[in-house]
Amino acid sequence: MSNSADPAESLLVRAATGRPGPRPPVWFMRQAGRSLPEYRALRVGTSMLESCRTPDLITEITLQPVRRHKVDAAIFFSDIVVPLAAIGVGIDIVPGVGPVVEKPIRETADLDQLRALDADDVPYVTEAIGNLVGELGGTPLIGFAGAPFTLASYLVEGGPSKDHARTKSLMHGRPELWHGLCARLAVIAREFLRVQVDAGASAIQLFDSWAGALSLADYEEFVLPHSQAVLEPLAGLVPRIHFGVGTGELLAAMRCAGADVVGVDWRVPLDEAARRLGPGVIVQGNLDPALLQAEWPVIDRAVRRVVEQGRAADGHIFNLGHGVPPSTDPDVLTRIVELVHSTPS
Ligand code: CP3
């Protein structure tokens, strides 16, 4: 699906390793999913978690946006809760809601649910990635995992939360339990990423989607060491991307977690993000997903602005500031790819 047969020489991996090519690479968080009619058709009658355990479905769903939009990377079709379900945690993904946990973590004994994960727990991941690497040719595959804080938030709250009140209360009120929980989640996330790299992923992204709910002080004390425990042991294998929403105050700290590329949401322009992050940084982002609903001239201007601001960094991977909303017209995404592809880096 790409001209160059070696994903290590793809625009994405080049940008992520400080060797930018002639134009920025582009992919979209949640590019595989409900915005695509071919995805909705494939998913009829199969639950989300079952889909994530079925190699043929994973492979096909991962390839759909690459074929349709000609994006410069595939992202592995899975979910941040898949490794938790794989080790036996009672968790489901409820349509329109998100991850819901049977027995939320409240006490030290609850941590027994969280044993370490290894490749044998997720054979469908290894199998699907093997198939994908063959199908994708020179197009890189991005593997991913949820970061300890974001996973912990679901496990402590029992489901999605706006204010993360129980999570923050536990973090401050029961710091030993908190650190014990995050240490276990770090092992699970790290090994889930390692399985994907061993199977052939060309880059990885650690999603700490909800880290923006935290102050810098809380992030540094309660979260950063655990995200470091995920990313640092994976140094030197493939480029590591680290992303969260609303993390303008946390960007430099997130880089310290061991990120080669820092994902930025739409709230901070990329030139300002590059300034906050310091020399030698590579950024990913950050078109406001809300603008996908706008008239094309508005989108055109916004895309060009993101590319222009991205030039302030040592490398730029074009993306949205968060995932593709399910109501997005997929033709708009295809057009954005064409526009980015016509713009020099
Ligand atoms: O294309 C891709 O980006 C790859 C697939 C992917 C999914 N989930 C598939 C999915 C990725 C990278 C994720 C990560 C994920 N899952 C995150 C981090 C990224 C982010 O958005 O911040 C989070 C927080 C989750 C948890 C989760 N899973 C939520 C909040 C939801 C949405 C619930 C809903 O129905 O609105 C899910 C389900 C989910 N994960 C879907 C997809 C395609 C939708 C399920 C469906 O199609 O039925």
Residue 149 in domain: yes
Chain centre distance of CA 24: 18
Q: What are the residues facing 92 on neighbouring strands?
A: 100
Strands (E) located in the chain: 74-75, 91-94, 98-101, 141-146, 203-207, 240-243, 261-263, 282-287, 315-320
Give yes or no for residue 1 having a pLDDT over 80.
no
Give residue for tokens 């950063």.
224
Provide the percentage of residues in the chain whose pLDDT is more than 90: 98
Residue 204 in domain: yes
Question: What pLDDT is recorded for position 105?
Answer: 97
Distance between Cα 284 and ligand 1 center (Å):
19
Looking at residue 154, the DSSP 8-state letter turns out to be H
CATH number at residue 121: 3.20.20.210
Question: What pLDDT is recorded for position 4?
Answer: 52
Burial state string for 40-58 with b = 16 or more CB within 10 A and e = fewer than 16: eebbeeeebbebbbbbebb
Question: What pLDDT is recorded for position 2?
Answer: 46
- Ranking 4-8, 220-224, 286-290, 320-324 by mean pLDDT, the lowest is 4-8
pLDDT in tens, 124-156: 999 999 999 999 999 999 999 999 999 999 999
Residue 139 in domain: yes
pLDDT in tens, 181-234: 999 999 999 999 999 999 999 999 999 999 999 999 999 999 999 999 999 999
User: Average pLDDT over the chain, rounded to whole?
Assistant: 97
Residues in CB range of 247: below 8 A, 6 or more apart: 208, 211, 212, 254, 264, 265
Residue 248 in domain: yes
> Which residue CA neighbors atom 30 of ligand 1 most closely?
98
Residue 279 in domain: yes
Choosing from 154, 208, 219, 260, which is the catalytic residue? 154
**Given the CA of residue 29, which atom of ligand 1 is nearest to it?**
3
Confidence at 308, pLDDT banded by 50, 70, 90:
very high
**Given the CA of residue 209, which atom of ligand 1 is nearest to it?**
22
Residue 1 in domain: no
With a 6 A CB cut-off, is 45 part of the ligand 1 pocket?
Answer: no
Question: What pLDDT is recorded for position 3?
Answer: 44
- Give one DSSP letter per residue of 230-290, joined into a string: HHGGGTTTS-EEEE-SS-TTTHHHHHHTT-SEEE--TTS-HHHHHHHH-TT-EEEEEE-GG
With a 6 A CB cut-off, is 32 part of the ligand 1 pocket?
Answer: yes
Distance between Cα 207 and ligand 1 center (Å):
11
Q: Does residue 79 carry a catalytic annotation?
A: yes
Residue 2 in domain: no
Nearest CA to 101 out of 54, 161, 45 is that of: 161
Provide the percentage of residues in the chain whose pLDDT is more than 70: 99
Long-range contacts (CB closer than 8 Å, 24 or more residues apart) made by 2-8 = 2/72, 2/136, 2/137, 2/138, 2/139, 3/138, 4/138, 5/137, 5/138, 6/138, 7/136, 7/138, 7/139, 7/140, 7/141, 7/202, 8/202
| CA distances (Å), origin 118, targets 151, 188, 228 | 18, 8, 19
Q: In the chain, what's the furthest Cα-to-Cα distance?
A: 56
Encoded amino acid at 186, one letter? A
Distance between Cα 259 and ligand 1 center (Å):
22
Q: How many CB atoms lie within 10 A of CB 208?
A: 30
Q: Hey, which of 26, 27, 29, 30 would you mutate to test ligand 1's pocket, going by the most ligand atoms within 8 Å of its Cβ?
A: 30
Q: Does residue 34 carry a catalytic annotation?
A: yes
The average pLDDT across 257-285 equals 97
69 in helix, strand or coil?
helix
Say what the pTM is. Answer: 0.97
Q: Does residue 30 carry a catalytic annotation?
A: yes
Q: Determine the Cα–Cα distance for residues 20 and 4; give it in Å rounded to an integer.
A: 15
Give residue for tokens 């809380």.
218
With a 6 A CB cut-off, is 154 part of the ligand 1 pocket?
Answer: no
Backbone angles phi, psi at 91, to 5 degrees: -145, 140
Q: Determine the Cα–Cα distance for residues 158 and 69; give it in Å rounded to an integer.
A: 36
Q: Determine the Cα–Cα distance for residues 292 and 307; give it in Å rounded to an integer.
A: 16
Confidence at 56, pLDDT banded by 50, 70, 90:
very high
Distance between Cα 159 and ligand 1 center (Å):
13
Residue 115 in domain: yes
With a 6 A CB cut-off, is 48 part of the ligand 1 pocket?
Answer: yes
Range of the domain at 78: 7-341
Domain count, the chain: 1
Q: Does residue 43 carry a catalytic annotation?
A: yes
Confidence at 15, pLDDT banded by 50, 70, 90:
very high
